[in-house]
């Protein structure tokens, strides 16, 4: 998920936050997933360090990500992986021709 999601604002989080919270929270998923450019990540990190509600929201998102990671460790069956790889190769060849 990319970081321009205004839906990332937690209920009640905006109450104790300043004007930069909506922007920081909108990029929180991308920040937690290390998908932001360095300068954007630094801005989010600086904001979260000074804003307790946003820090709390980041903690929730980080915890959720870790929970999903622990619970979803299954791998696709080998035959399914081969079929997907073959199809992607076919699509690539078709588009480049």
- Give pLDDT tens digits for 17-71: 666 788 888 898 899 999 999 999 999 999 999 999 999 999 999 999 899 888 8
Angle, nearest 10°, between helix axes 38-50 and 52-71?
A: 120
Largest CA distance in the chain: 56
Query: What confidence score (pLDDT) does residue 63 get?
Result: 94
Query: What confidence score (pLDDT) does residue 62 get?
Result: 93
- Name the pLDDT band for 96 (thresholds 50, 70, 90): low
Read off the pTM: 0.55
For 37, residues 6+ apart whose C-beta sits below 8 A from its C-beta are none
For 61, residues 6+ apart whose C-beta sits below 8 A from its C-beta are 8, 28, 29, 32
């Amino acid at each position: 998920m990319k970081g321009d999601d205004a839906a990332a604002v937690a209920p009640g989080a905006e109450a104790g936050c300043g004007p930069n919270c909506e922007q920081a929270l909108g990029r929180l998923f991308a920040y937690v997933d290390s998908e932001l450019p360095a300068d954007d990540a630094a801005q989010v990190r600086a904001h979260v360090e000074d804003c307790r509600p946003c820090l709390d929201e980041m903690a929730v998102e980080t915890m959720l990500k870790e929970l999903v990671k622990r619970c979803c460790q299954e791998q696709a069956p080998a035959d399914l992986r081969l079929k997907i790889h073959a199809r992607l190769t076919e699509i690539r060849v078709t588009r480049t021709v």
